[in-house]
């Protein structure tokens, strides 16, 4: 391996650390988000002819390894038992949110079939991202063996439309929803109001990750993640080759959820953050592989398909929620958790001036992490 290739790999590993640090120093970077920044840097690197010869081999290796390793670390932090302690409206809103996403994915498939290449893979990715955000989207990319350019353009459209969605939700969204849905009424939930839940720390706080008391157990969790990947790969070899890649992701998801029930594993701090850091490496590397000159060949129908999945599902969610008499804040936080992923929950809850819905949003979002991979693979292969 040449020195230039070594420097490239070191950059891919170190750059997300620098970005995460700068997020703590500059509020504008935190608002933009580390994922989007990594994609932007990667696209620039990949299109200014600066990467060394032979880079594609190592880029492919990194993208193939990062998602399988990151998924268990993210899932270890789940609290599955807490799902069943949620208020009925929150669980109903989760079910409605998943249902509306699937409905719009199917509708878009039949509207745009023939104008989008490998649309069944796009459908699987959209199910992934609108149930679990970037980790599930990246998992679908791996499971369905999606072309790099198609993946980048799908995510680019999603990020662009997602920015518009957030502007709406953070500004006038609550007022608009209140014209259709009832206002939030506090259930006087002792867990939500106890001050014991600190999602800002849980999801965005990378501090003290290198403390000995945190780092050593975290290395153990990382090792367990590697074991899960190895076992999942071995099990996938028992299945038909056409399904083996998808099976790896599903096995990894299942093992990750299973180990979240083990107290000693679940109590390890910063597993979610470590998983998201690895996701950032993936975002940086996969975007550096995109050739922007080829992206113009992808049908603009893809843009409308992404928009239908995002906005169509949320609009349908509102009208079904009205029938079930679910309040506006619960619908907003549930839909936003699925569309934008759990790290955005505290931001949206703050905009709604309602801290009591934070736990609802986190539970819905983490549930999406868990079911999204199963749902995405299943729907993709049904449509195929």
State the number of CA atoms in the 13 A half-sphere of 150 facing the CB.
20
Structure confidence at residue 195 (pLDDT): 35
Residue-wise pLDDT for 272-314, tens only, equals 889 889 988 988 888 888 777 766 666 789 989 999 999 999 8
Residue-wise pLDDT for 220-275, tens only, equals 999 999 999 999 999 988 887 766 777 787 788 789 888 988 989 988 988 888 98
Residue-wise pLDDT for 339-351, tens only, equals 876 666 766 777 7
The whole-angstrom separation of Cα 77 and Cα 256 is: 9
Q: Confidence class of residue 193 from pLDDT cuts 50, 70 and 90?
A: very low
Q: Does residue 191 carry a pLDDT above 50?
A: no
The whole-angstrom separation of Cα 71 and Cα 256 is: 7
Measuring CA to CA, which residue among 266, 301, 273 is closest to residue 114?
301
Q: Does residue 370 carry a pLDDT above 90?
A: no
Q: Does residue 199 carry a pLDDT above 70?
A: no
Residues 315-328: what's their mean pLDDT? 90
Domain layout of the chain by residue ranges: 83-185+201-270+292-383
Structure confidence at residue 346 (pLDDT): 65
The whole-angstrom separation of Cα 60 and Cα 24 is: 31
Measuring CA to CA, which residue among 122, 69, 95 is closest to residue 275?
69
DSSP for residue 170? I
Looking at per-residue pLDDT, the higher value among 345 and 87 belongs to 345
Residues 160-189: what's their mean pLDDT? 81
Contact in structure between 58 and 288 (CB atoms under 8 Å): no
The whole-angstrom separation of Cα 371 and Cα 365 is: 10
- DSSP strands (E only) in the chain: none
Percent of the chain predicted with pLDDT > 90: 24
Structure confidence at residue 217 (pLDDT): 92
Residues 6+ positions from 282 with CB-CB distance below 8 Å: 62, 63, 66, 67, 70, 138
Residue-wise pLDDT for 142-163, tens only, equals 888 888 888 888 888 887 787 7
The whole-angstrom separation of Cα 383 and Cα 379 is: 6
Q: Does residue 188 carry a pLDDT above 70?
A: no
Q: Does residue 37 carry a pLDDT above 90?
A: no
Can you read off the two tokens belonging to residue 166?
């957030």
Q: Confidence class of residue 47 from pLDDT cuts 50, 70 and 90?
A: confident
Q: Does residue 82 carry a pLDDT above 70?
A: no
For the chain, the C-alpha Rg in angstroms (whole number) is: 20
Structure confidence at residue 36 (pLDDT): 78
Q: Does residue 198 carry a pLDDT above 50?
A: no
Can you read off the two tokens belonging to residue 220?
């153990």
Contact in structure between 109 and 123 (CB atoms under 8 Å): yes
Decide: helix, strand or coil at residue 5.
Answer: helix
Structure confidence at residue 257 (pLDDT): 83
Residues 6+ positions from 9 with CB-CB distance below 8 Å: 58, 62
Measuring CA to CA, which residue among 140, 71, 133 is closest to residue 383?
140
Structure confidence at residue 122 (pLDDT): 92
Measuring CA to CA, which residue among 172, 205, 188 is closest to residue 352?
172
Looking at per-residue pLDDT, the higher value among 219 and 173 belongs to 219
Residues 101-108: what's their mean pLDDT? 93
Greatest mean pLDDT range, 71-80, 98-107, 278-287: 98-107
Structure confidence at residue 220 (pLDDT): 94
pTM, full prediction: 0.69
Residues 317-323: what's their mean pLDDT? 91
Residue-wise burial string across 205-225, b where 16 or more C-beta atoms lie within 10 A, e elsewhere: ebeeeeeeeeeebbeebbebb
Q: Does residue 79 carry a pLDDT above 80?
A: no
Residues 124-139: what's their mean pLDDT? 82
Q: Confidence class of residue 197 from pLDDT cuts 50, 70 and 90?
A: very low
Structure confidence at residue 130 (pLDDT): 86
Write phi, then psi, for 26 (nearest 5 degrees): -130, 115
Handedness of CA 190, 193, 198, 200 (dihedral sign): positive
Q: Does residue 192 carry a pLDDT above 60?
A: no
Contact in structure between 259 and 224 (CB atoms under 8 Å): yes
Specify burial of residue 198 (Cβ count, 10 A radius: 0-12, 13-18, 19+).
exposed
The whole-angstrom separation of Cα 135 and Cα 140 is: 9
């Amino acid at each position: 391996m040449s020195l230039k290739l070594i420097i490239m790999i070191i950059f891919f590993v170190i750059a997300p650390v620098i970005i995460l640090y700068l997020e703590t120093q500059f509020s504008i970077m935190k608002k933009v988000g580390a994922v989007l920044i990594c994609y932007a840097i990667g696209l620039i690197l990949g299109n200014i002819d600066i990467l060394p010869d032979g880079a594609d081999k190592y880029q492919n290796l990194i993208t193939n390894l990062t998602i399988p390793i990151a998924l268990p670390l993210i899932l270890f932090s789940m609290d599955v038992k807490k799902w069943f302690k949620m208020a009925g409206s929150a669980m109903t809103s989760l079910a409605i949110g998943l249902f509306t996403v699937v409905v719009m994915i199917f509708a878009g498939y039949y509207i745009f079939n023939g104008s989008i290449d490998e649309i069944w893979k796009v459908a699987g990715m959209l199910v992934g991202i609108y149930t679990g955000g970037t980790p599930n989207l990246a998992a679908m990319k791996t499971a369905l063996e999606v072309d790099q350019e198609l993946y980048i353009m799908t995510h680019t459209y999603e990020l662009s439309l997602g920015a518009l969605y957030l502007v709406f939700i953070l500004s006038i969204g609550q007022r608009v929803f209140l014209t259709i849905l009832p206002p939030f009424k506090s259930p006087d939930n002792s867990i939500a109001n106890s001050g014991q839940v600190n999602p800002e720390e849980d999801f965005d706080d990378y501090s003290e990750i290198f403390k000995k008391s945190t780092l050593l157990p975290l290395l153990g969790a990382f090792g367990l993640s590697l074991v899960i990947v190895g076992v999942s790969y071995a099990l996938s070899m028992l299945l038909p080759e056409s399904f083996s890649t998808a099976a790896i992701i599903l096995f990894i998801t299942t093992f990750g959820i299973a180990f979240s029930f083990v107290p000693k594993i679940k109590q390890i701090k910063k597993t979610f953050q470590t998983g998201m850091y690895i996701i950032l490496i993936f975002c940086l590397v996969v975007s550096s592989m995109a050739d922007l000159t080829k992206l113009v060949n992808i049908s603009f129908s893809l843009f409308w398909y992404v928009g239908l999945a995002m906005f169509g599902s949320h609009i349908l969610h509102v009208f079904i929620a009205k029938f079930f008499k679910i309040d506006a804040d619960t619908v907003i936080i549930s839909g936003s958790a699925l569309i934008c992923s759990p790290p955005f929950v505290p931001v949206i809850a703050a905009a709604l001036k309602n801290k009591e819905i934070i736990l609802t949003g986190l539970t819905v979002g983490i549930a999406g992490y868990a079911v999204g991979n199963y749902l995405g693979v299943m729907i993709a292969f049904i449509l195929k």
